[in-house]
Amino acid sequence: MNDIALSLDTVWMLLAAMLVFWMQPGFALCEAGFTRGKNTANILFKNFVDFMFGSLLFWFAGFGFMFGSDGAGFIGAPNWGDLSFYKGELPVEGFLMFETVFCATSATIVSGAMAERTKFSMYVIYSAVISLLIYPVEGHWTWGGGWLSDATADSFMMQTFGDVFHDFAGSAIVHSVGGVLALIGALALGPRRGKYAKDGSSRAIPGHSLTLAALGVFILWLGWFGFNPGSQLAASGEVNRTAISHVLLTTNLAAAAGGVATMFLTWWKYGKPSFSLMLNGVLAGLVGITAGCDLVSPVGAVVIGLLCGLVLVYSIEFIDHVLHIDDPVGASSVHGVCGILGTLLTGLLSTSNGALYGGGWGFFGAQCFGIIVIDLWAAVCGIALFYGIKKLHGLRVDARIEDEGLDVYEHGETCYN
Amino acid sequence: MKRIEAIIRKTKFEEVKEALLSSDIDWFEYHDVHGIGQSRQERIYRGIQYSTDVIERVALTIVCRDQFVQPTVKVIIETAHTGEVGDGRIFVSDMIETWSIRTGEHGDTVLRDKK
């Protein structure tokens, strides 16, 4: 490849990495807005912890677990801060940065679902474990060249499905894993005090600033323009410049369709269009399109966005009213449910090998199988981690601390003075 | 010397303020208040319908000489009126004494209402 082309690809990758980093404040503001002002320092702090610990641990060992020399397709060899093992055309340090921001995105999804009641110290432990192990291992199975993405003719995936698992930018790998851990974390914690009445009915606990939440969602929307188009990891040449343009379009269409679907569904269900749920609807569309943004047509992207926006509302209702799992920001529905849905819909709507485009059911089967094993891994790790912490040390702050706010007791600093 | 306290609609605050300034009052205090009453407002948050009994109003406090009580009350009643339930209340009570911090004077003459 010529030198200028490689430089162009590198610049695009680094720019995309910066945009994906910018999703961290998006998550931080979104989560802060959907929760109460007495816990704002705490939730913002957790978002910083995710990025800080993620940056250090992913550089030190996670990157190796994910991309290091393969151990039976299951896990790479840890690199212990040494990047020399990596043999790719792009500069390894830039590539590490790009992968780091994806790892930190997965990690930071969970903080919203566990908001307003988790011990800060225990959250730090969770955050370290996902960046060091949970994310890099399933990342190795897929993007790291492990068993789910092994396209050699005699590999398990090719023998069974005739196709490999495809997740372009991480509906499954990043978002559904974060979403599953969010659900298990919220379940292990139990609901916030006062969330459910004695008769089991769910109470509204309005967040303290939908303004902040709205800004957060717009920032995430922008960040996604790095998340998805950046995952092409190249910009030079006709193939790449066409691909990143296509991915930018499908990403945006799905986001818009997700928000519109939620707006009209809530309008019909509740008599008024719900702003807070529409914000989630935009994110649902974005999460949903992430797996197949390179393979689906613009029409397919709109379909994915609409379906994710609709399913989101019912998912939030089901998790809240039926399962009684208290997820203050809807992370388990947005990232978990819509991440899974988007991964599956890619198997149907891919214009090259999707079932609805005459590609047969092999690819859809690969998507189903892939999402099951990835989220099973996340679930097993999540159960071991959160219930382990709960049993050994306790995951949740005392009732009095919860009532008066985590900011005062966990940090001694409050956001609004 | 009397203290007039009025609880009015937030939407009527600008009108009442202008009317008070163009009458003989040159200083009054106000603050946002939350009251609990019998009426309920329906709200929806993230798909959960709930009702709030918190009612938001503005409270005005005016201290004036006796001869200004009737005209001031009249101005408030005229401008804060919509005819719907919830227009508010006016309370008048005696004020015993007042001092000017700057001059040390006391008595109702320190109130700078006109005339």
CA distance to partner chain A, nearest, from residue B27 (Å): 29
- List pLDDT tens digits, range B67-106: 899 999 999 999 999 999 889 999 999 999 999 999 999 8
Q: Report yes or no: B73 and B4 within 8 Å, Cβ to Cβ.
A: yes
pLDDT band at B113 (very low <50, low <70, confident <90, very high): low
Task: Report the domain count for chain A.
Answer: 1
Which of B43, B47, B49 has the CB atom closest to A277's CB atom? B47
**Which chain B residue is nearest to residue A265, measuring alpha carbons?**
B47
DSSP per-residue letters across A98-140:
HHHHHHHHHHHHHHHHTTTTB-HHHHHHHHHHIIIIIHHHHHH
CA distance to partner chain B, nearest, from residue A326 (Å): 12
CB atoms near residue B37 (< 10 Å) = 11
Position A69 scores a pLDDT of 87
Position B53 scores a pLDDT of 84
CB atoms near residue A232 (< 10 Å) = 24
- Would you say residue A417 lies in a domain? no
Which of B43, B44, B48 has the CB atom closest to A202's CB atom? B48
Confirm or reject contact between A318 and chain B (CB < 8 A). Answer: no
| Pairwise CA distance, residues A26 & A105, whole Å | 10
- Would you say residue A376 lies in a domain? yes
Q: Report yes or no: A12 and A234 within 8 Å, Cβ to Cβ.
A: yes
Instruction: Indicate yes or no: CB of B44 within 8 angstroms of CB of A272.
Output: yes
Query: By residue range, what is the domain housing residue A366?
Result: 3-411
Q: Report yes or no: B16 and B8 within 8 Å, Cβ to Cβ.
A: yes
Instruction: Indicate yes or no: CB of A274 within 8 angstroms of CB of B48.
Output: no
A204 CB neighbours in chain B (<8 A) are 43-46, 48-50
Position A49 scores a pLDDT of 97
CA dihedral of residues A131, A134, A135, A139 (deg, nearest 10): 140
Residue that the structure tokens 């009251």 belong to: B35
Confirm or reject contact between A320 and chain B (CB < 8 A). Answer: yes
- List pLDDT tens digits, range B31-66: 999 998 887 778 889 988 888 888 899 999 999 999
Predicted ipTM of the assembly: 0.77
CA distance to partner chain B, nearest, from residue A310 (Å): 13
| Pairwise CA distance, residues A187 & A114, whole Å | 9
Buried b (16+ CB within 10 A) or exposed e, B84-99: eeeebebebeebeeee
- Would you say residue A416 lies in a domain? no
- Would you say residue A148 lies in a domain? yes
Q: Looking at residue A383, which CATH number applies to its domain?
A: 1.10.3430.10
Residue from A35, A195, A205, A280 to probe the interface with B (highest B Cβ count within 10 Å): A205
Report the interhelical angle of A237-270 vs A210-230 (nearest 10°): 150
Across chain B, the runs of DSSP E, i.e. the strands, are 2-9, 29-45, 48-64, 88-94
pLDDT band at B23 (very low <50, low <70, confident <90, very high): confident
Query: Taking 70 as the threshold, does the pLDDT of residue B115 lie above it?
Result: no
Residue A224 belongs to what H/E stretch? helix A210-230
Q: Which two tokens stand for residue A123?
A: 């959250």
Q: Report yes or no: A228 and A169 within 8 Å, Cβ to Cβ.
A: yes
Q: Report yes or no: B9 and B58 within 8 Å, Cβ to Cβ.
A: yes
**Which chain B residue is nearest to residue A328, measuring alpha carbons?**
B46
Confirm or reject contact between A270 and chain B (CB < 8 A). Answer: yes
The one-letter amino acid code at A121 reads: S
Confirm or reject contact between B42 and chain A (CB < 8 A). Answer: no
Region B2-110: CATH code: 3.30.70.120
Instruction: Indicate yes or no: CB of B48 within 8 angstroms of CB of A266.
Output: no
| Pairwise CA distance, residues A319 & A323, whole Å | 5
Q: Which two tokens stand for residue B81?
A: 């009126």
Instruction: Indicate yes or no: CB of A320 within 8 angstroms of CB of B43.
Output: no
| Pairwise CA distance, residues A274 & A144, whole Å | 40
Instruction: Indicate yes or no: CB of B46 within 8 angstroms of CB of A202.
Output: no
Position B59 scores a pLDDT of 97
Any idea where the domains of chain B sit in the sequence?
2-110
| Pairwise CA distance, residues B71 & A86, whole Å | 85
Residue that the structure tokens 């068993």 belong to: A147
Confirm or reject contact between B101 and chain A (CB < 8 A). Answer: no
Query: Taking 80 as the threshold, does the pLDDT of residue B112 lie above it?
Result: no
Instruction: Indicate yes or no: CB of B47 within 8 angstroms of CB of A272.
Output: no
**Furthest-apart CA atoms within chain B: distance in Å:** 60
Question: CA A332 from chain center: how many Å?
Answer: 10
Instruction: Indicate yes or no: CB of B47 within 8 angstroms of CB of A203.
Output: no
| Pairwise CA distance, residues A197 & B97, whole Å | 51
- Would you say residue A245 lies in a domain? yes
Share of chain B above pLDDT 90, in %: 57
Q: Which two tokens stand for residue B100?
A: 């000017």
β-strand partners of B49 = B44
Confirm or reject contact between A194 and chain B (CB < 8 A). Answer: no
Q: Which parts of chain A have pLDDT scores under 50?
A: none
Backbone phi and psi for residue B44, each to the nearest 5 degrees, phi listed first: -130, 130
Greater model confidence, B115 or A3: A3
pLDDT band at B6 (very low <50, low <70, confident <90, very high): very high
pTM of this prediction?
A: 0.90
Which of A206, A269, A317 has the CB atom closest to B45's CB atom? A206
CB atoms near residue A347 (< 10 Å) = 29
| Pairwise CA distance, residues A49 & A396, whole Å | 18
| Pairwise CA distance, residues A282 & A73, whole Å | 35
